[in-house]
Amino acid sequence: MSVARTVVIGGGIAGLAAAHRCAERGDDVTVVESAPTVGGKLTSHVVDGLTLDAGAESLLARRPEGLDVIAAAGRAGDLVHPAVSGAGLWLDELVALPRQQLLGIPSNASDPDLRAVLGDAALNRLAREPALGEPLPDDMSVAALVGGQLGDAVVDLLVEPLLGGVYAGRADEISIEAALPGLLAEVSRAGSLVGAAAAMRSRSVDGPVFASVVGGLGSLPSSLARANGVRVLTDTTAIGVDGVRGEWSVRLDEAETIVADQLIVAVPGFAAAPLLSSVAPAASAAAAGLDYATVALVTAVFDADSVTAPLQGTGFLVPPSTGRVTKAATFVSRKWEWVGRAAAGREVLRFSVGRQGDRRGLDLDDTDLTRVVLDEVSDVLGLRDAPGASAVTRWVRSLPQYRVGHSDRVARVRRSLPAGIAVAGAAWDGVGIPACIASGWNAADRVAAEDGDG
């Protein structure tokens, strides 16, 4: 048996952020991670001799948390922003994704880019947004709000592809309050969804939207872990938690037990549920009830002259209404200058597959999935030859689905947790990297405050 002031179960970015926060205040911290390395969905792989992100490849730079962690990890000098901007939508052809939007919700009904996406009839419907009738509920689905106010075409052609990229989710299932906190209240104030989207966009911080580090975000977790000054146990699985406040016993798969004053559980809901079952049964049940979507990423490296279409912007999104298996493409070697330099005469392209309720492609083996995706995008990208190398990364049950009422469920979970235990991560507070970092920080602050109450 060993003793630690704080144990963090889960070495993803939320867990590492929590550990760093605890270490900053002088805690003795142990991180328990079942995988061989820390990072979770922030990881790298080598394709055609290039070290590339195998998970998330950018973070939102208009929130401070991600930039703060890059600095805390000693990587401020490696901070980079996309070399190009703008993205496309693949309809019958590639058109520009309107920039004046909030998760696909137009913030300017007169945006000239809308016509190429929506067409005249849907654009006219958007311009005739009805006045609010009954007071809005505390929460509703994204589709119910956007479709009711702006029309189904806005949902199908703008909102769905962006939700697919962020959550691998469906607009008729995802909670608007979880996806865009505060939007419902803003709609009630503005009396208009377009006006509310414009108001929220106007409050966003100026500057680049996205950021990464040279070497890719997959290199960030190990840098943060080294900067933490914490004990990290990899290839080690937490299999149970028992005890009472101030003496939590974390049982490990090697028949070892760690006793901790404070415990932070920063793993997916399906992994958190059995850990919490004896000490927080209500939280365990809520964690077990979370649905997750599975996605796959196909990375392909081509000789530059094998891609004959002009690669403009960072890539494109694909509305599910088109019926295509591919849901997004990223022009990696154009988006990130450091990748372009390393690729030297090659184009690195990455494609995303998989949405909630749509497993087409996910049940194929790697070879067939790569073939299906490349056949699908061949004409729009002008592919003349097969890639020199490719790789498939599968993220099984990786993206939590925030159903209507998610925020209230999370609040109830946290109220049900005993003092000295906190939960953190994408299961609860958002799938973006800054949101996960903030979740980890808040969990660390919560257990410290509860300890002070004792």
For 407-452, how does the pLDDT look when each residue is reduced to its tens digit (9 = 90+)?
A: 999 999 999 999 999 999 999 999 999 999 999 999 999 999 987 6
- Element (H or E) spanning 452, and its range? helix 433-453
Q: Is the pLDDT of residue 454 over 80?
A: no
The pLDDT of residue 29 is 96
The pLDDT of residue 1 is 54
Burial of 308 (0-12, 13-18, 19+ CB in 10 A): exposed
Q: Work out the pLDDT band at 249, boundaries 50, 70, 90.
A: very high
Q: How far is Cα of residue 68 from the mean position of the Cα atoms in its chain?
A: 18
CATH of domain 292-400: 3.90.660.20
Q: Model pTM?
A: 0.96
The pLDDT of residue 204 is 82
Q: Which of 210, 216, 375 is nearest to 300 (CA)?
A: 375
CA separation for the pair 86, 347 (Å, rounded): 18
> 344-381 burial, b for 16+ CB within 10 Å, e for fewer?
eebbbbbbbbbbbebeebbebeeeebbebbbebbeebb
CA separation for the pair 11, 297 (Å, rounded): 22
Query: Please, what is the Cα angle at 336 between 332 and 342, to 5 degrees?
Result: 85
Architecture of the domain delimited by 2-36+220-290+403-453? 3-Layer(bba) Sandwich (3.50)
Structural contact between residues 113 and 98, judged by C-beta atoms closer than 8 angstroms: yes
For 194-224, how does the pLDDT look when each residue is reduced to its tens digit (9 = 90+)?
A: 999 999 999 887 789 999 999 999 999 999 9
CA separation for the pair 87, 316 (Å, rounded): 5
Architecture of the domain delimited by 99-202? Orthogonal Bundle (1.10)
Q: Where are the domains of the chain?
A: 2-36+220-290+403-453, 99-202, 292-400
HSE-up (13 A, CA, CB side) for residue 88: 18
The pLDDT of residue 16 is 98
CA separation for the pair 196, 213 (Å, rounded): 33
For 65-79, how does the pLDDT look when each residue is reduced to its tens digit (9 = 90+)?
A: 999 999 999 999 999
Structural contact between residues 1 and 257, judged by C-beta atoms closer than 8 angstroms: yes
| Residue the block writes with tokens 């963090």 | 8
